[in-house]
Amino acid sequence: MAKLVIEHLLVGPLQSNCFILGDEESGEAVIIDPGGDGDMILNAVLEKPWKVTAILNTHAHFDHIAANAAVKRGTGAPLMAPRPDAPFMAQAHISARIYGLEVDSSPEPDKLLDDGDEIDLGDEKIQVISTPGHTPGGATFVTSIGIFPGDSIFAGSIGRTDLPGGDYDTLIDSIKTRIMSLDDETLIYPGHGPATTVGREREYNPFLVV
């Protein structure tokens, strides 16, 4: 069984969570949501050192993909992103300007991800489940040590749905049917803020408690 470890980095001007998920047995790693500070991410990879086999985006907002280009150049790893969000990736740097920020544009994905896809990490199979609502193609990555839902759900909150392509009812349905169906002990590593668990959010998240 793969022995996975997580390195957590706060990146970019919006302090997004970037995760390096590594398999100590094989030395392989994936980088989830490189949202900025590409040099920091690459230095963290070199410290291990990991062989990066994939760069994974949970969705196409600029604060989660701003370092795609730098990390791809530095690692040579394929970029993978949810299929419905792919058309928006090349425009993310334009969205950043609304916030007065300049970020690199993202290259096109090498692989488009669909619900039910699996990504190899050593002996681990990372499962892709579609959790749209924050964006049309929001994806959650499910691993043996926790899930990575991007901005679909946070500790005590959910992702905003007032941006283009967002839909509140769709997001709530995604969370309730895809994420809340997991075991209570499942760790959630969201795109912003601290980690939480499915059980904690089921009981205390005000957007989910009936």
Q: What are the pLDDT digits (tens) for 127-182? A: 999 999 999 999 999 999 999 999 999 999 999 999 889 999 999 999 999 999 99
Please count the other Cβ atoms lying within 10 Å of the Cβ belonging to residue 196: 20
- Write the CA distances from 101 to 93, 94, 107, integer angstroms: 8, 9, 18
Cα gap 79→196, rounded to integer Å: 27
Distance CA(204)–CA(27), nearest Å, equals 38
pLDDT in tens, 46-93: 999 899 999 999 999 999 999 999 999 999 999 999 999 999 888 877
Q: Where are the beta strands (DSSP E) in 47-135?
A: 51-56, 79-82, 111-113, 118-121, 124-130
What are 193's two structure tokens? 């803020």
CATH number for region 4-204? 3.60.15.10
